[in-house]
Each structure stands twice: as structure tokens, then as C-alpha cells.
């Protein structure tokens, strides 16, 4: 599914939220390589991001065309700032009431309320699609993200100890959080 362009004002900055376009695949790839290098809290190391432009185009296309997926890109005063997305659980009918969420912003656009704005908008759409709960995984130690999710109603429901092993030999747990509507 897609959303048309929406404009907001946040701390004096102009925010645009909309669905991604296919011609933005390269921009999204470069963003992914950068944000994974800026934090320990995303899914992989920057040098593990090896998607091709065609694969990224497929990723955008799938989110835009599937009824149970949505990818929202955000711009701050015209600059690409990051994205958030949801994907409905696939497979068994038993799992189709659940939507999984992801979000990441460039470091320079964190900490002024954009993540909250984007997630509220995403959750609105998830609810409108009839999902009964939203789910996400956050790495232990990501205090800003954990606080934000908790303040939106997500509750911790479990963790995998040492789910992440870093190149420097340290570990971090994965924490599962759920928001029932």
C-alpha cells in the first residue's frame, strides 16, 4: 500500500512523509549503508549491506503494492531523513493479525520528535488495515528507541540473551515488544 505526500511542521522544520518511489532505490541503499554504520542498534554491519539497486527497487515495489505492507520515507526541509515500515506476518492465517515494524533515521535527524511522528502515522495505518497488534525488536541498550516505543504503548514481552555478537566480541540482547490495539 502507499500513502500520498503529507506535510507537517515539527520544531520549525518542514516534514514530508510519503511512500517511496522506485527512482529512490539508490538513495535508500546509500542511507542503509550509512545508518547501519552510525549505530550498533540496527540489523547488520554497514559492510554487510550488499543489496543491488534492482533488489532495492523490488523492496520498494513490494511495499507499495502489497496490501499488508507500507514503507514511509521522511524528508526534513527537503532532505531525506530516514524511513519506517510495516510488514504483515505472512504464512499461516493464525499470524495474519500481526504487523512487524522497523524504523531508522540518519543520526542527524534523531532526537527532535520525528521518530514519534512517523511511528504514530505508521501505527494509524496498521490499525486502519485491521491488524490487532504491532510488534518490533529493539537491541538492549537502545534507550531512546525503547523509551519511544514504551511511550507509544509497546510493552516488553521477552528477550533473546546475547542475540547480537559484535566484531569487538561484545554481545547485546534482542528485546521483543508488542502493542496490542
Q: Which of 7, 62, 108, 147 binds ligand COA (CB under 6 A)?
A: 147
How many C-beta neighbours within 10 Å does residue 42 have? 17
Of 37, 111, 141, 180, the one binding ligand COA (CB under 6 A) is: 111
Q: Is 105 in the site for ligand COA (CB under 6 A)?
A: yes
Residue least distant from ligand COA (Cβ): 115
Using the contact rule CB under 6 A, the part of the chain among 26-34, 72-80, 107-115, 161-169 near ligand COA is 107-115
CB 13 within 8 A of CB 77: yes
CA distance 129 to 97: 10
Q: DSSP labels for 151-176?
A: HTT-EEEEEEEEEEE-TTS-EEEEEE
Q: Which residues in this chain contact ligand COA in the complex, by CB under 6 A?
A: 39, 41-42, 82, 103-105, 110-116, 138, 142-145, 147-148, 151
Amino acid at each position: 500500500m502507499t500513502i500520498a505526500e503529507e506535510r507537517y511542521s515539527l520544531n520549525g522544520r518542514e516534514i514530508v512523509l510519503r511512500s517511496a518511489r522506485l527512482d529512490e532505490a539508490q538513495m535508500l541503499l546509500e542511507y542503509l549503508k550509512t545508518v547501519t554504520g552510525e549505530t550498533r542498534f540496527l540489523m547488520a554491519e554497514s559492510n554487510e549491506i550488499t543489496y543491488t539497486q534492482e533488489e532495492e527497487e523490488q523492496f520498494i515495489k513490494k511495499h507499495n503494492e502489497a496490501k499488508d505492507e507500507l514503507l514511509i520515507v521522511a524528508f526534513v526541509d527537503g532532505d531525506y531523513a530516514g524511513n519506517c515500515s510495516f510488514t504483515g506476518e505472512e504464512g499461516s492465517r493464525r499470524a495474519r493479525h500481526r504487523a512487524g515494524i522497523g524504523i531508522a533515521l540518519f543520526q542527524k535527524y534523531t532526537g527532535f520528535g520525528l521518530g514519534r511522528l512517523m511511528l504514530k502515522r505508521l501505527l494509524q495505518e496498521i490499525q486502519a488495515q485491521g491488524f490487532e497488534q504491532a510488534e518490533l525488536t529493539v537491541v538492549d541498550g537502545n534507550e531512546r528507541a525503547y523509551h519511544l516505543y514504551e511511550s507509544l504503548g509497546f510493552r516488553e514481552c521477552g528477550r533473546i540473551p546475547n542475540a547480537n555478537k559484535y566484531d569487538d566480541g561484545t554481545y547485546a540482547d534482542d528485546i521483543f515488544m508488542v502493542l496490542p490495539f
